[in-house]
Each structure stands twice: as C-alpha cells, then as structure tokens.
C-alpha cells in the first residue's frame, strides 16, 4: 500500500544577483514561480549592480520550485530576495524549513554575510554553494571557508547554479547534514 508523500522545505538565500532564482529553476521539476521585477533607475542607486551589470531583473518576494525525491518525498524550494530591504520576508519564508542553502559569489563574498549571520543565529542547518561564475576567480574551498569564517561542519560545495547536477550536489550536502544531525 503506497504511503502518503512526505514534504520538506529548503530555503535558498544569498546576496543580490548570486543566482538564487537560477538555482531554484535548475532543480525544480515544475516551472518555477518567480517574482521577478525589472530593475529601475531608482533601484540601481540602491542595489550594487557593478559585478552583475547585465542583470535587468530582481526577485521582490520569493522564488518557488518543487522536486520529488525517491518517489515519495517532495522537496519545496523557496528562494529569498537578496537585497537587505526585503529581509523582513525571511522570517516567514524560513518558518518550518529543514535547512538553508546560502549561495556565494566569490567576486562579492561580503554579500553572503547577512544570510550566513541570519541562518546561524536562527540555528538553521545550512550548506554553502559557491556559485562559479564564468568571469569569477576560482579559489580553493578552504580559502572560501576562511574568508566566510565558517567551521568545518558546514558543507561547502562548488556549483554552477545553471546546472541541475551541480545544484543537486549542494542540496544533497544539506540533506546529508540534516540527516546526520537528526
């Protein structure tokens, strides 16, 4: 007799333009729900687009995707907006989450600190995906770990947010961490 599906929630966070929407879309088995809005001249004065000059939209609420694992486990993915002015949404988005993925862009490593601080202070298990941008410099993972100031117990996984297999690797690292801690 088939059992009822079990669901779990993961939050994907990180700085502005780090690849959260792309990450959710790469793994989702459904067309992801996105809340993208055009960047305006007003937002360009607020959002630092220097490292992502071609970026023309931004998430203003959240992204949502879904993936079925093992035929009976449904994983819901919620991507947070990256700008500080939208962090008031995070408390609602993380309610009931299993854990978080924080994406890092090595061209702008400081942008990861607000998300890392938030999840660490909330006691939410997290894994870090080092999103490898084509024009970004590659660093050894231990150098990234040191720059972020995170302990060895936090999974740190290189990825390309456009690649389903790479994204899956980050999510599996988080799930392994959660299972080990259970």
Residue 61 structural domain: 6-181
Structural domain contains residue 31: yes
Cβ-based neighbours of 23, under 8 Å, separated by 6 or more: 12, 79, 101, 103, 129, 131, 159, 161, 167, 170
Single pTM value for the model: 0.83
Q: How many domains does the chain have?
A: 1
Which helix or strand (DSSP H or E) is residue 119 part of?
A: helix 113-122
Structural domain contains residue 48: yes
Structural domain contains residue 1: no
Structural domain contains residue 38: yes
The pLDDT tens digits along the chain (182 residues) read: 567 778 899 999 998 889 999 999 999 998 876 766 565 555 555 555 555 555 555 555 568 899 998 878 899 999 987 666 566 677 777 889 999 999 999 988 999 999 999 999 999 999 999 998 888 888 999 999 999 999 999 999 999 999 999 999 999 999 999 998 86
CATH number at residue 29: 3.40.50.300
According to DSSP, the β-strands at 126-131 and 73-79 are unpaired
Structural domain contains residue 124: yes
């Amino acid at each position: 007799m088939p059992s009822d599906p079990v669901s779990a929630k993961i939050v994907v966070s990180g700085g502005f333009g780090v690849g959260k929407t792309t990450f959710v879309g790469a793994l989702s088995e459904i067309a992801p729900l996105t809340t993208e809005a055009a960047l305006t001249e007003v937002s360009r004065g607020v959002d630092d687009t220097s490292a992502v000059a071609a970026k023309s939209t931004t998430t203003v609420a959240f992204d949502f995707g879904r993936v079925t694992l093992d035929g009976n486990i449904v994983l819901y993915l919620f991507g947070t907006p990256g700008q500080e002015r939208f962090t008031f949404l995070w408390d609602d988005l993380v309610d009931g989450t299993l854990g978080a993925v924080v994406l890092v862009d090595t061209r702008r490593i400081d942008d990861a600190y607000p998300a890392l601080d938030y999840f660490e202070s909330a006691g939410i298990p997290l894994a870090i995906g080092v999103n490898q941008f084509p024009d970004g410099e590659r660093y050894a993972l231990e150098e990234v770990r040191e720059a972020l100031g995170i302990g060895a117990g936090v999974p740190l996984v290189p990825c390309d947010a456009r690649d389903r297999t790479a994204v899956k690797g980050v999510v599996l690292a988080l799930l392994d961490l959660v299972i080990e801690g259970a």
